[in-house]
Homo-oligomer: A and B are copies of this chain.
């Protein structure tokens, strides 16, 4: 099997499948990282602890191959580019697994051949070096088929807790709601996830974003379950720095398009108001050199 993207999530999944006995090829953008992965393997520490041997290659040099399972674990805004480089190499893929925040990548993946799955990862993971992942929170990976007529069963690894979900849209929406409540605010405010609960004023701000999001997604009926989920994730990850905050602080590109952009397009389409989500997305521009 193969994994495109060697960030924290990509490395965690690659190492878990390798521990299960799979022959794993990791595709990364930087040759230096591929080189180190070939030499050192993937070191997992924190709440899980093991080392996995993997093969690694850069996306550009990817040679024609066929995969039982190809996991795409790049940022949502890189999905299109990652897929293009693979189409050019004529790779055969039986099962795809897409792990991205937000829902804006769904348009892109709908034209693919093969069985497609989408997933939401609820583990807390942090890349400490190019070959090392720290697991800071145990959770689950929810996997749902992207098309109803998917017949084959998904290639699993018992090394991570993988749960099957029936409805990909609802599953991704659940995760989107959690993300839009926690990520942008922690990034903008420069606080840890837990501060959104301990500071009552921040909690109110988070509640405002939550209300707009569930209204846009027509999920008002589930609001209590969803709000409890947001609070529970905030609590469990209270000492963590959200991925968007980490990206914001070092000036990396943000997943605003995948998270807030998707909600704003839906709001527009459904003629619903989401003023604070729009406002927040305007504020979340990398500061660069202002």
Interface residues of A in 255-284 (CB under 8 A from B): 275-276, 278-280, 282-283
Could you mark each residue 75-109 of chain A with 1 if its beta carbon is under 8 Å from any beta carbon of chain B, else 0? 00000000000000000000000000000000000
CA distance A208 to B287 in the complex (A): 19
CA distance A201 to B290 in the complex (A): 13
- Is A285 part of the binding interface, using a Cβ–Cβ cutoff of 8 Å? yes
With both chains docked as a complex, state the minimum distance between the C-beta of A47 and any C-beta of chain B, in angstroms.
Answer: 25
The chain B residue with its CB closest to the CB of A285 is B201
The chain B residue with its CB closest to the CB of A211 is B275
In the complex, chain B residues whose CB is within 8 Å of the CB of A280: 279
CA distance A188 to B275 in the complex (A): 18
Q: Is the CB of B191 within 8 A of A282?
A: no
A285 in complex: contacting residue of B202, B287, B290, CB < 8 Å? B202
Q: Is the CB of A202 within 8 A of B282?
A: yes
Interface residues of A in 180-200 (CB under 8 A from B): 185, 188-192, 195, 198-199
Interface residues of A in 34-70 (CB under 8 A from B): none
In the complex, chain B residues whose CB is within 8 Å of the CB of A192: 290
In the complex, chain B residues whose CB is within 8 Å of the CB of A208: 275, 278-279, 282
- Is A205 part of the binding interface, using a Cβ–Cβ cutoff of 8 Å? yes
Q: Can you pick out 24 interface pairs between chain A and chain B where the beta carbons lie within 8 Å of each other? A: A188-B283, A189-B283, A189-B287, A189-B290, A190-B287, A191-B287, A191-B290, A192-B290, A195-B290, A198-B290, A201-B282, A201-B285, A202-B282, A202-B283, A202-B285, A205-B279, A205-B282, A208-B275, A208-B278, A208-B279, A208-B282, A276-B279, A279-B279, A279-B280
Given A189-B290, A275-B276: 16 more A-B contacts, CB < 8 Å = A189-B287, A191-B290, A192-B290, A198-B290, A199-B290, A201-B283, A201-B285, A202-B282, A204-B282, A205-B279, A205-B282, A208-B275, A208-B278, A208-B282, A275-B275, A276-B279
The 4 closest A-B pairs by CB, nearest first: A205-B282, A195-B290, A276-B279, A201-B285
